[in-house]
Chains A and B, each alone.
Chain A
């Protein structure tokens, strides 16, 4: 198959995102994850429209949860053990 030279994907410059991930250990194999993120997509998309997509912006956390999902009972047990080791809740 002969392909023509590929044309560029049309894109808009000026898209920006900033924020942070914070990963705090709860147990040796359990952690607490926080994502704070703000995005500017540039172009002519109104801000109110992008505000509705905040959930989309944060879905990485949901993917992370699904990625490392384990049996809840086992995780609870580990967290309990960790709390006991630390001498109680902070």
Chain B
């Protein structure tokens, strides 16, 4: 059933049958589409989602009727409206309303929220879904729920991450990715209930109904190859600009990591006599077996007390700037896909792969969840990258784990990023771009839906 209020707003009602615990529940959904006028400072398109209570629906439909007069309203509406307003859903809408009125409003599941489409870089949209579901104890009629079901209404809030970007790199990387990630945070009332409470399952089921909305947005417009190419080009352009000066911690990081190499000083100064596989320094390394005829020469140096130091060397058939742009752009579609294929899909939890550009610096933080091998726990890496380029065009990208002393010197957004990753990598894995502080809600529990297949498979 569709109606229109004004040129920039549209309403849509439909009935969504949802199966919960083998019970079919009809969910009446109300969508309100609002398109901001071009003169607006925020030209976003917003879709308001809500399930409809009889009272709400009657308020929205421009006819004054009481709940008890639903049947009369149906008759009058049917006779007075055009055929477009009387489609197959209309009867079901009223049927559900009748049933809801008979059962009482308290038993009606309520979902409300918004889908916001904001224009972003590279002709992409930042799609944000924010939902809140109030699952009333409607489940008490089901066999799975015992009489101990609390009468309190359990609130569950699913909140899409809001992303912001402050540096060119960040905006280029983050804008190309699927933003349908849902972060679900439970309100403080959830502490009253065990996490497996049936009402939570109900709420989750209702929210799950809206998940395909963003998936559809994504899959209908997915063009990973084009966006990867655009991102790389943009990264190269940014590299060509004047970079910010290296700060003292950044210089220290580069010197520290380069000292691991035997020719660290000449590497810093750009002496081209280094970095050949025939370099004498390489003789102190043990060649890794089965790499003699490989295009990549690999060596290892065993050290007492620490892990082995590995070194790989090869010639890549692309320009240095191009290769560096590829390395620096950690959130390319293809790199995300490889990360998922190599480390698994996290058993339903989006595998952490998150980057954060430190504003006005040459630093970037990258958080990764890595699956070492079957039977081992996942490992969470939080690494800081710093880049430099010498006069001869040699790029150096140093990386080392971030420590607490570094964190204190960073800006607030970066500290929040580190805090989120350290507190719960699974939560951080829910986001596909920069983590920004969410409003006062506590972020202690998270679960998400992610794209079930790699983007590339849909091209």
A residues neighboring B (CB under 8 Å): 1-6, 8-13, 15-26, 28-43, 45, 47, 50-51, 53-55, 57-58, 60-65, 67-70, 75, 90
Asked if B295 and A45 sit within 8 Å, CB to CB, the answer is no
User: Would B377 and A11 count as touching, CB distance under 8 A?
Assistant: yes
Q: Would you call B75 an interface residue if the criterion is a C-beta within 8 Å of the partner chain's C-beta atoms? A: no
B400 to chain A, nearest CB (A): 4
One of A2, A6, A36, A41 near B448 (C-beta < 8 A): A6
Assess the B260–A19 pair: CB atoms within 8 A: yes
- Which residues on B sit within 8 Å (CB–CB) of A29? 317-319, 322
Task: Tell me which of B294, B369, B377, B400 has the highest count of chain A C-beta atoms within 10 A of its own C-beta.
Answer: B377
Q: Which residues of A contact B347 (CB under 8 A)?
A: 9
- Whether B338 pairs with A68 at a CB distance below 8 angstroms is no
Task: Say yes or no: B307 contacts A25, CB within 8 Å.
Answer: no
Residue of B nearest to A62 (CB): B296
**A–B Cβ pairs within 8 angstroms, 6 of them:** A12-B380, A21-B396, A29-B317, A29-B322, A31-B316, A61-B298
B323 adjacent to A6 (CB under 8 Å)? no
Closest 5 CB pairs of A and B: A18-B400, A15-B379, A68-B318, A6-B447, A58-B312
Q: Which residue of B lies closest to A6 (CB)?
A: B447
Q: Which residues of A are found within 8 Å of B327, using beta-carbon distances?
A: 21, 23, 64
How many B residues touch A, CB cutoff 8 Å? Answer: 87
Known interface pairs A4-B204, A64-B326. Does A90 touch B372 (Cβ–Cβ under 8 Å)? no
Give the tally of cross-chain contacts (CB within 8 A): 249
| Of the residues B204, B258, B273, B397, contact of A5 by C-beta under 8 Å | B204
Checking A8, A57, A60, A69 against B317 with a beta-carbon cut-off of 8 angstroms, the contacting residue is: A69
When C-beta atoms are compared, the residue in chain A nearest to B310 turns out to be A54
Q: Bound complex: CA of A33 vs CA of B277, how far in Å?
A: 11
CB distance from B444 to the nearest CB of A (A): 11
Q: State whether A58 touches B298 (Cβ < 8 A).
A: yes
B249 within 8 A of A: no
A16 and B401 form a contact (CB under 8 A): yes
Q: Is the interface of A mostly helix, strand, loop or mixed?
A: mixed
Q: Which of B272, B326, B370, B399 contacts A15 (CB 8 A)?
A: B370
Judged by a CB distance under 8 angstroms, whether B445 is at the interface is yes
Q: Which of chain A's residues has its CB closest to B372's CB?
A: A41
- How far apart sit A24 and B423, CA to CA, in the bound complex (Å)? 38
* Any A CB within 8 A of the CB of B77: no
B426: interface (CB < 8 Å): yes
Q: Tell me how far the C-beta of A13 lies from the nearest C-beta in chain B, rounded to whole angstroms.
A: 6
Nearest chain B CB to A28 CB, angstrom units = 6
For chain B, residues 99 to 125, give those with C-beta under 8 angstroms from any C-beta of chain A: none
Is B383 touching A17 in the complex (CB atoms < 8 A)? Answer: yes
B445 lies within 8 A of A2 (CB): no
The residue of chain A having its C-beta at the shortest distance from the C-beta of B257 within the complex is A20
**A18 in contact with B195 given A33-B316, A58-B310, A64-B326 (CB within 8 Å):** no
Which residues, 271 to 307 on B, are CB-close (under 8 Å) to A?
272-273, 275-276, 288, 291, 294-296, 298, 300, 302, 306-307
Most buried by A among B317, B334, B380: B317
A60: which B residues are within 8 A, CB to CB? 312
